[in-house]
Amino acid sequence: MIADGEWEFRERPHTAENTAEKKVGVCDRIETWLFSDKRCTPAVNSIDLQSLYAELNTQYFEGWLPPCQIAWSRRLTRTAGNIDVRRQIIHLSTPLLIDAFAGDSLFGREYVVCGVLCASPEVAVREILKHEMIHLWLHVCSLPSGHTIEFRNKARAIGQPKTRHDIELPAPRSGWIYTCPICNNATPRRRRYSRAVACLRCCKRFNGGQYHERFKLRGRRVASA
């Protein structure tokens, strides 16, 4: 499940090295943002998630879907959730589905997920889980499991008019934030890059996937609170 208007919630940086090597090496080395202070404990534990999965399976998929492992992931920061349809494993993003809703605001935070207004982690988790289950449903039906016409038709049928979300990743408390000067896409990172890094999205869009100085990310250090 990806953010509104982006192929990924945040594009991974693009280095000046060989493009083919970059796709494997740099992406593997990119460190997912880990918050330095106390972390939120998911409001829905694994038992609740399995119960919710069973409920949604019965309500929207006539119980056709096979049992599926569901786990929280703090490493998942570019998408709110993903699924391996062959291994039947769903991962849900702790930063996007739990941390993003935490705050000091009197009225709390609200985000639109799959076209549904979500004012709590529980509602957001429900919508993301429905979204990932559609992928599995398509696989079970021997259909392509991407965001196809069949996917969108099924999503609308179960109350999801859109396939994206607008959840914002919480601001880091320390580390670095790298921003593209062209598209303003921000990438949080715990450590400073040791070499030139460019925005992959802009390199793909404007330079055939090759590194260019024009899209070099600008780093800003975030001091510990």
Dump pLDDT digits (tens) for 117-154.
988 889 999 999 999 999 999 999 999 999 999 999 99
Q: What is the rounded distance in angstroms from the CA atom of residue 217 to the CA atom of residue 179?
A: 5
Phi, psi of 46, rounded to the nearest 5 degrees: -60, -35
DSSP 8-state secondary structure symbol assigned to residue 106: T
Burial status of residue 136 (CB atoms within 10 A of its CB: 0-12, 13-18, 19 or more): buried
Per the prediction, the chain carries an average pLDDT of 78
Residue among 168, 165, 101, 94 at smallest CA distance from 131: 165
Burial status of residue 98 (CB atoms within 10 A of its CB: 0-12, 13-18, 19 or more): buried
Domain locations along the chain: 13-34+172-222, 46-157
Q: What pLDDT does 63 receive?
A: 96
Q: What is the rounded distance in angstroms from the CA atom of residue 214 to the CA atom of residue 154?
A: 42
Bridge pairing between strands 89-93 and 13-15: unpaired
83 is written with which tokens? 């699924």
40 is written with which tokens? 């939120």
Phi, psi of 13, rounded to the nearest 5 degrees: -65, 160
Residues 29-35, mean pLDDT to the nearest whole number:
31
Chain centroid, CA 56 distance in Å = 21
Q: What is the rounded distance in angstroms from the CA atom of residue 90 to the CA atom of residue 69?
A: 6
Dump pLDDT digits (tens) for 83-121.
999 999 999 999 888 888 876 545 567 888 998 998 888
15 is written with which tokens? 């280095």
> pTM above 0.85?
no
Burial status of residue 123 (CB atoms within 10 A of its CB: 0-12, 13-18, 19 or more): middle
- Name the 3-class secondary structure at 167: coil
Report whether pLDDT(12) > 80.
no
More reliable by pLDDT, 173 or 5: 173
CB 38 within 8 A of CB 197: no
Q: Which helix (H) or strand (E) holds 153?
A: helix 149-157
Q: Rank 34-43, 71-80, 103-112, 160-169 by mean pLDDT and report only the highest.
A: 71-80
Burial status of residue 125 (CB atoms within 10 A of its CB: 0-12, 13-18, 19 or more): buried
In CATH terms, is domain 46-157 a member of 3.30.2010.10? yes
Q: What pLDDT does 166 receive?
A: 77
Q: What pLDDT does 42 receive?
A: 53
Report whether pLDDT(31) > 80.
no
Report whether pLDDT(22) > 50.
no
Residues 180-184, mean pLDDT to the nearest whole number:
90
